[in-house]
């Protein structure tokens, strides 16, 4: 719908005083952290050059603080009006050659219209070598009906591609690079790079094909005498021709490459000449067809029986002639007879059949069209014969290959003809490649390209019908025109002379070859300068004026490969594959963008639909496999390798491509499906939320935790790496971004695949709680929390750290999530280590089977692959340990797990004095911490008083007091401190006075004593069996429901893991995660 704009002038009465005041305010303005976040750069706004033109008036004072980031609409419109889109084409390069110094010349605004900017370039690129050299042969071999089908399929493919290309090209500005730019910005750098390089290879091999066509015309029809290699026998003529093509083709390539290197301005100046040759040749063909309706051209052909003869070494189609009343053999007889005067020495077929001369070009009204409707395929070496003509077969055919018959030089099938013909309809990208030179690209590209395709499609289809209606079928199948005195077959139909077509096609092929050698290096340079393929960086450089010198050298080298193949019929299917793949992805780009309905998809060209794009894509894929299935597979393999290389080694680019949008839609669909039901036990795997701690420099404190994550996940499942910063988001927003970058760097270094997120919260506890509740999305949420054990919790000045740890345990339990706690995580192996030993699993209580699953997952990673799994379980006095072992072995067998099984018997022992001692110390420390919960003022006052008393104390007592933290002095007397230190020393030495200690033991909490006893006994079993293990997995007991016992809980865990190098505490999430069923 039209939109009306009204421009309202606003009077601005600025004064010098206001200007000075504004200047002062601009220097004294206070910036808030939220205002410093960088915004996305605008393509129209040059922020560096607009610092002096900021708006400092009073009419827009409400927005004055945002003027540097959000400019006035008038400024934006001014930028848009002065914006010009320059191509990486030859115009700038030639202007740069004439520049003096570093001063850039002002570029004129583009002025080319639809006709000269799009229509004629497309016409010149589409009409070319195949039309002049192979279309007549295709019509004769495939017949009019099948040839028409070939042309219709190929033209339909390009028409559908042009519709898709018009939609993509008119959805914004398309700089130089044409199809590569459109595909890469629509489907992403991986697809863009892969298809861009395929299009580059196609354009390069097209240059080879045009050069081979040029040399074929030159050596076959213009000056055959300059051939370097000649054949003494007829059988060797093909090999000699191929060698001539290689030598002359290489020389032609060097001359063309030198011309492009010296200056493409000469190529551009000759473009009009080449186009004129094409147009004149087409006109000559139609003029010749019209003339045949009234008078047939005199191009007789000679038939022996039903076989067509090469009309090279004889002038009369007679076996004998009368000269001066004497019958003498003709030159034709000398070719078939060893002795022309003795018929018994002649070839058997020559003796049995008569010689007939017929018109090679019967004419438009001759009715020959009915004979040319059907195909005539055959193997290589098959004789070209006229169907329905009388002949007598011969028994001996051994000499046929050396006689002047016309043979098939290659095996002909329908699919081969499709591959050979398709290059004749390529070239539809010529208009989009010149978008920077067009006055109105969004109108000219669709109109000019589609009109050019309609015109060329009409020419090709009409030529198929006209060639079949005017030319004899055996002449059509004579690829090189040997039967018509070695004339170009299409030239025999032209008017006024065959030389019009010969010269026109020669210059047309020359021009097309030069255009390919000009365009291919610039396409490679555009890909290299995008930086998505690292090994192509060198080809982004060139001469001082930007000419792609290195890219031209590579293009010439690849083009030489095609020339060494030396056969136009062999090169054509190769470049067909690359062009078809390019067109396939143009259609895919349009279809994806249309179906996704992205907000930026607003093409000016409205006559498109996603069904047409899918039809074009399907047709391209079908033509690839119809032409040559093995070439198609090779082309797809090359594109796939380039895609994977860019994915793993290429630079990351965000171009707002459709694949990213497709991924988002697919992810949304998958997440909605996942949310419908929880995963089955067979599909359960740990989806990790890794809670990291950062130091003051925002570096990861325990990077080995990320290594451990990599080894556990092996790139599968969900991994969310998170950290919490204390503060407010307004003040710590930028710091959170830096923290995320630090975490991403650590993840990259440790090869951890997943997502990272740093949140800002008023305190760590709330931050971790929010992450546990909200991390993930939909059905893709974590089910397991991984964190490191707070190793210095006893020495911490603030108890909040280990309290947060315990609260995290409680919250994961409440959320029904599994919990993994790694102790001594800095001693865990790196990803480069290869461990040998055991992974010991201590299965004390069953909490879902996670203990069994984790060693199996570790074993998938190369770090742990050589480690064996051992499972220990604990038997009480009333348990049958032998039966337990058998049952456990059977259980592991059903779980398909290989592990050694051992049952550890724990007898009912009396609680030892060591256990009582550990419990006493624990409770006294707990009491001490409770008494320390005073106000900050009281703690400082009491600390100062104790410090003053301590300075006057005895030296020995002072030394002992200094061995414990300062806060212990706040609540303990010196006498109690000395007695406690003595008790600890005696406990370590194993000397105890049981009778004097027993009164204190009786006051202990018996529940704590029992828990400590369990921890001590289990620790003895652990240290006796698993000290040498590479990793110990152990059930993690839950925290007490009464928060008053949190300090004791930490002590229990510390005693339980004492003396073990690497421990992973495992706490299940309350559901079964492993099953014996299939």
Q: pLDDT of 538-573, one tens digit each?
A: 888 877 767 788 999 999 999 999 999 999 999 999
In this prediction, residue 668 carries a pLDDT of 80
CA distance 901 to 592: 56
Res. 99: pLDDT tops 90: no
Task: Considering only residues 470 and 395, tell me which one the structure prediction assigns the higher pLDDT.
Answer: 470
Mapped onto helix, strand or coil, the DSSP state of residue 753 is coil
For residue 987, name the pLDDT band (cuts at 50, 70, 90): very low
Q: What's the pLDDT tens digit per position in 282-291? A: 999 999 999 9
State mean pLDDT over 723-744.
91
Most confident of 314-323, 640-649, 816-825, 1035-1044: 816-825
Give residue-wise pLDDT tens across range 358-403.
999 998 988 899 999 999 999 998 999 998 888 888 888 888 888 8
Interstrand relation of 300-304 and 355-359 (parallel, antiparallel or unpaired): antiparallel
Whether residue 174 has pLDDT greater than 90: no
Q: Is residue 926's pLDDT more than 90? A: no
What's 820's DSSP letter? Answer: E
CB atoms under 10 Å from CB of 843, counted, come to 19
Check whether 498 has a pLDDT greater than 60.
yes
Of 593-607, 647-661, 662-676, the range with the lowest mean pLDDT is 647-661
More confident residue, 547 or 357: 357
Q: Residue 760 and residue 493: Cα distance in Å, rounded?
A: 82
Question: How is residue 459 written in tokens?
Answer: 């020419």
Average pLDDT of span 72-85? 53
Contact 408, 380 (CB under 8 A): yes
Percent of the chain residues topping a pLDDT of 70? 76
Q: Is 836 helix (H, G, I), strand (E, B) or coil?
A: strand
pLDDT at residue 413 greater than cutoff 90: yes
Mean pLDDT of the region 184-200: 81
Q: Which of 728, 724, 721 has the alpha carbon at shortest distance from 744?
A: 721
Length of the chain: 1078
Q: How far apart are CA 822 and CA 705, in angstroms?
A: 8
Strand stretches in 397-485, DSSP E: none
Q: Write out the H or E segment, with its range, that includes residue 735.
A: helix 729-749
Average pLDDT, integer, range 676-704: 83
Mean pLDDT of the chain: 79
Q: Which residue has the higher pLDDT, 358 or 533?
A: 358
Bond preceding residue 820 cis, omega within 30 of 0: no
- How many CA atoms lie less than 13 Å away from 35 in the CB half-sphere? 10
Cβ atoms of 1075 and 848 closer than 8 Å? no
Q: How do beta strands 719-726 and 755-761 pair?
A: parallel
Q: How far apart, in whole angstroms, are the C-alpha atoms of residue 625 and residue 639?
A: 16
> Reduced to 3 states, what is the DSSP secondary structure of residue 652?
coil
Please write the tens of the pLDDT for every residue from 784-841.
Answer: 999 998 877 776 666 677 788 888 888 888 888 889 999 888 889 888 888 888 999 9
- Which tokens belong to 981? 């230190």
CA 209, 211, 216, 217 torsion-angle sign: positive
H helices of 531-657, where?
549-565, 568-596, 610-627, 629-649
Look at residue 80 and tell me whether its pLDDT is greater than 70: no
């Amino acid at each position: 719908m039209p939109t009306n704009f009204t421009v309202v002038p606003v009077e601005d009465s600025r004064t010098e005083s206001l200007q000075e005041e504004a200047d002062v305010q601009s220097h004294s303005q206070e910036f808030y952290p939220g205002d410093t976040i960088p915004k996305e750069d605008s393509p129209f706004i040059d922020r560096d050059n607009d610092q002096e033109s900021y708006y400092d008036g009073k009419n827009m004072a409400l927005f004055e603080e945002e003027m540097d980031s959000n400019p006035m609409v008038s400024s934006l419109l001014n930028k848009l009006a002065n914006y010009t889109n320059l191509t990486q084409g030859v115009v700038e390069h030639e202007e740069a050659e004439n520049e003096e110094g570093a001063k850039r010349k002002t570029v004129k605004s583009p002025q080319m219209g639809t006709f000269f900017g799009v229509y004629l370039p497309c016409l010149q690129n589409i009409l070319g070598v195949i039309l002049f050299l192979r279309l007549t042969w295709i019509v004769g071999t495939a017949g009019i009906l099948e040839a028409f089908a070939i042309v219709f399929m190929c033209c339909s493919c390009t028409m559908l591609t042009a519709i898709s290309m018009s939609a993509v090209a008119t959805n914004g500005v398309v700089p130089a690079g044409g199809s590569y730019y459109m595909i890469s910005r629509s489907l992403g750098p991986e697809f863009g790079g892969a298809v861009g390089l395929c299009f580059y290879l196609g354009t390069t091999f097209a240059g080879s094909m045009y050069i081979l066509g040029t040399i074929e015309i030159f050596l076959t029809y213009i000056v055959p005498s300059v051939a370097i290699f000649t054949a003494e026998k007829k059988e060797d003529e093909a090999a000699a021709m191929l060698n001539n093509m290689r030598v002359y083709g290489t020389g032609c390539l060097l001359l063309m490459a030198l011309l492009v290197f010296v200056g493409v301005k000469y190529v551009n100046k000759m473009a009009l000449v080449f186009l004129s040759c094409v147009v004149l040749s087409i006109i000559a063909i139609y003029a010749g067809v019209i003339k045949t309706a009234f008078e047939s051209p005199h191009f007789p052909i000679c038939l022996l029986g039903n076989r067509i003869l090469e009309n090279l070494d004889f002038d009369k189609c007679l076996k004998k002639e009368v000269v001066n009343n004497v019958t003498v053999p003709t030159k034709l007889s000398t070719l078939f007879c060893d002795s022309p005067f003795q018929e018994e020495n002649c070839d058997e077929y020559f003796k049995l059949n008569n010689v007939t001369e017929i018109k090679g070009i019967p004419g438009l009204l001759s009715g020959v069209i009915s004979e040319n409707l059907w195909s005539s395929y055959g193997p290589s070496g098959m004789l070209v014969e006229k169907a329905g003509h009388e002949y007598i077969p011969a028994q001996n055919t051994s000499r046929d290959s050396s006689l002047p018959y016309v043979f098939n030089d290659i095996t002909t099938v329908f699919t081969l003809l499709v591959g050979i013909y398709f290059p004749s309809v390529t070239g539809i990208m010529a208009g989009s490649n010149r978008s920077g030179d067009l006055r109105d690209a969004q109108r000219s590209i669709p109109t000019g390209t589609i009109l050019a395709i309609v015109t060329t499609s009409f020419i090709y289809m009409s030529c198929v019908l006209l060639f079949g209606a005017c030319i004899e079928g055996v002449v059509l199948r004579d690829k090189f025109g040997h039967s018509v005195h070695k004339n170009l077959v299409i030239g025999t139909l032209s008017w006024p002379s065959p030389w019009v077509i010969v010269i026109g096609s020669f210059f047309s092929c020359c021009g097309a070859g030069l255009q390919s050698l000009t365009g291919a290096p610039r396409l490679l340079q555009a890909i290299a300068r995008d930086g998505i393929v690292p090994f192509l960086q060198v080809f982004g450089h060139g001469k001082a004026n930007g000419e792609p010198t290195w890219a031209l050298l590579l293009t010439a080298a690849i083009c030489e490969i095609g020339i060494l193949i030396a056969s136009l019929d062999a090169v054509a299917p190769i470049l067909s594959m690359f062009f078809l793949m390019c067109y396939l992805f143009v259609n895919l780009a349009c279809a994806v963008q249309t179906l996704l309905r992205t907000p930026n998809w607003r093409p000016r060209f409205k006559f498109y639909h996603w069904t047409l794009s899918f039809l074009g894509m399907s047709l391209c894929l079908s033509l690839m496999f119809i032409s040559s299935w093995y070439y198609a597979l090779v082309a797809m393999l090359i594109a796939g390798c380039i895609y994977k290389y860019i994915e793993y080694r290429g630079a990351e680019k965000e171009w707002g491509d459709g694949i990213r949008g497709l991924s988002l839609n697919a992810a949304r669909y998958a997440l909605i499906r996942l949310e419908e039901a929880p995963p089955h036990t067979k599909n359960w795997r740990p989806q990790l939320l890794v809670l990291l701690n950062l130091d003051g420099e925002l570096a990861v404190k325990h990077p080995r935790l990320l290594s451990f994550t990599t080894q556990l996940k092996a790139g599968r499942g969900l991994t969310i790496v998170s950290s919490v910063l204390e503060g407010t988001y307004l003040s710590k927003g930028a710091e959170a971004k830096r923290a995320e970058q630090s975490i991403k760097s650590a993840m990259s270094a440790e090869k951890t695949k997943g997502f990272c997120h740093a949140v800002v919260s008023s305190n760590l506890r709330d931050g971790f709680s929010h992450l546990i509740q909200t991390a993930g999305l939909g059905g893709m949420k974590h089910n397991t929390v991984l964190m490191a054990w707070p190793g210095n919790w006893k020495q911490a000045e603030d108890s909040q750290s280990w309290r947060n740890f315990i609260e995290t345990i409680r919250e994961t339990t409440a959320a029904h999530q599994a919990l993994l706690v790694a102790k001594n995580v800095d001693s865990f192996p790196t990803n480069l280590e290869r461990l040998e030993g055991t992974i010991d699993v201590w299965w004390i209580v069953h909490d879902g089977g996670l203990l069994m699953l984790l060693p199996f997952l570790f074993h998938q990673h190369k770090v742990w692959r050589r480690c064996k799994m051992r499972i220990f379980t604990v038997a009480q006095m009333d348990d049958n340990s032998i039966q337990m072992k058998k049952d456990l072995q059977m259980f592991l067998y059903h779980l398909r797990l290989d592990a050694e099984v051992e049952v550890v018997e724990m007898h009912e022992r009396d609680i030892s004095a060591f256990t009582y001692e550990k419990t006493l110390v624990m409770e006294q420390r707990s009491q001490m911490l409770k008494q320390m919960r005073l106000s900050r003022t009281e703690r400082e006052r009491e600390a100062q008083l104790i410090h003053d008393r301590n300075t006057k104390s005895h030296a020995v007592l002072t030394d002992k007091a200094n061995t414990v933290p300062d806060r212990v002095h706040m609540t303990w007397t010196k006498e109690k401190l000395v007695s406690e230190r003595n008790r600890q020393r005696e406990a370590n030495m194993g000397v105890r006075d049981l009778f004097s200690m027993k009164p204190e033991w009786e006051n202990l909490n018996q529940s704590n004593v029992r828990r400590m006893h369990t921890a001590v006994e289990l620790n003895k079993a652990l240290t006796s069996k698993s000290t040498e293990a590479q990793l110990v997995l152990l059930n993690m007991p839950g925290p007490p429901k009464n928060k008053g016992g949190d300090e004791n809980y930490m002590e229990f865990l510390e005693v339980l893991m004492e003396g073990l190098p690497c421990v992973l505490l495992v706490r299940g999430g309350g559901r079964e995660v492993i099953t014996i069923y299939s």
